[in-house]
Amino acid sequence: MQDPAFTAPGRFWRGNLHTHSNRSDGVLTPEEVCRRYRDEGYDFIALTDHFIGVYDYPIVDTVPFRTENFTTILGAEVHSGAMENGELWHILAVGLPPDFAPPNAPHFSPVDGMETGPDLARRCRDAAAFVAIAHPEWGGLSLADARSLDAAHAVEIYNHGCQVGADRAEGFWHLDRLLEEGRTLTLCATDDAHFSEPDHFGGWTMVKAEANTPEALLAALKAGHMYASTGPLIHDVVWGARSVTVRCSPAASVIVQGRGSATSAVHGHAMAQVELPLGRVSESDWMRLTVMDAAGKRAWTNPVWKDT
């Protein structure tokens, strides 16, 4: 079985899906944020300022900052309703229309009569956005919270800003529990850059699409044609009945994960192609991969399901 993220037509484009400017709580202007990502070699970003009343509900127009080789996707980090811990929901919505109707979210604390987070996520998805469960470890999401966000396409499994500022970067626990319950979710890695600390250029999503345009990138994200990385490149993945073959940049470890405790790993030096026995993972209804380099940087494939 070929992994659809690698067999889809087109090429991989490197982008950051979670970014802030001084239109909310970031430090830099939208133009300067776009310039820095462009000059760092990124192909695209989504500027996702906090869609909340204290910042006048911004969906920032980044169209003027597109160039021949760099594009932007409109979006926001949206907020409404309380999670089980009493804090406000944080939901990543990439591809929102500029006239998306705001919730009643005047500030970062829940108020009576607010739209729930799951309802807001459904409105975002209905408006054609790519929706991700943002930084679940950092936000203290319960499993019940994660289950309730039924409109999500993906889970943010690495957030560089949350790593730098809180050492709470990951979302694998939430992702795997939802996969075990039959949810067909994908994954993404992001910066959540504010430029107030070294929270940028640390986590990104590689999206395979035929063109570096907002429309093509969004379609690929929704189809799961991407992988997430903090460094390594993944060139191809082929799933067999008893093993998986991976081509990648030089790796020190390749690990496959499945349901429950099912895992298998191969370790070595500068491995560019690995055939990894699945072992007990072959009994799982879903599987995903981690590629790790000698510096400990990681890349992750989306889950694949046996029935697809």
Which pLDDT tens digit goes with each residue over 143-196? Answer: 999 999 999 999 999 999 999 999 999 999 999 999 999 999 999 999 999 999
Q: What is the mean pLDDT of the chain?
A: 97
39 Cβ partners below 8 Å, 6+ apart?
Answer: none
Tell me: do 294 and 167 sit in the same domain: no
Name the domain boundary from 198, 213, 228: 228
Tell me: do 211 and 274 sit in the same domain: no
Which pLDDT tens digit goes with each residue over 264-278? Answer: 999 999 999 999 999
Tell me: do 252 and 203 sit in the same domain: no
Tell me the residue range of the domain where 74 lies. Answer: 4-228
Which pLDDT tens digit goes with each residue over 40-82? Answer: 999 999 999 999 999 999 999 999 999 999 999 999 999 999 9
What pLDDT, on the 0 to 100 scale, is given for residue 307? 72
Name the domain boundary from 208, 228, 248: 228
Tell me: do 201 and 245 sit in the same domain: no
What pLDDT, on the 0 to 100 scale, is given for residue 26? 98
Average pLDDT over residues 94-102: 98
Average pLDDT over residues 88-109: 97
Name the domain boundary from 198, 228, 258: 228
Structural domain count, the chain: 2
What pLDDT, on the 0 to 100 scale, is given for residue 54? 98
Tell me: do 81 and 204 sit in the same domain: yes
Q: State pTM to two decimals.
A: 0.97
Tell me: do 274 and 175 sit in the same domain: no
Residue written as token pair 């462009």: 38
What pLDDT, on the 0 to 100 scale, is given for residue 160? 98
Residue 265 burial by CB count (10 A; 0-12/13-18/19+): exposed, middle or buried?
middle
Tell me: do 14 and 155 sit in the same domain: yes
Locate the DSSP E strands across 141-233: 154-159, 186-190, 204-209, 226-229
Tokens of 278: 């699945």
Q: Any idea what the CATH number is for the domain that residue 298 is in?
A: 2.60.40
Please check the confidence at residue 11 and state whether its pLDDT lies above 80: yes
Tell me: do 203 and 288 sit in the same domain: no
Query: Are the CB atoms for 44 and 212 separated by under 8 Å?
Result: yes
Tell me: do 145 and 52 sit in the same domain: yes
Other beta carbons less than 10 A from residue 31's beta carbon: 12
Q: Any idea what the CATH number is for the domain that residue 55 is in?
A: 3.20.20.140
**Predicted confidence band at 308 (pLDDT cuts at 50, 70, 90)?**
low
Tell me: do 161 and 282 sit in the same domain: no
Tell me: do 253 and 195 sit in the same domain: no
Cα(92)–Cα(179) distance, integer angstroms: 20
Tell me: do 40 and 147 sit in the same domain: yes
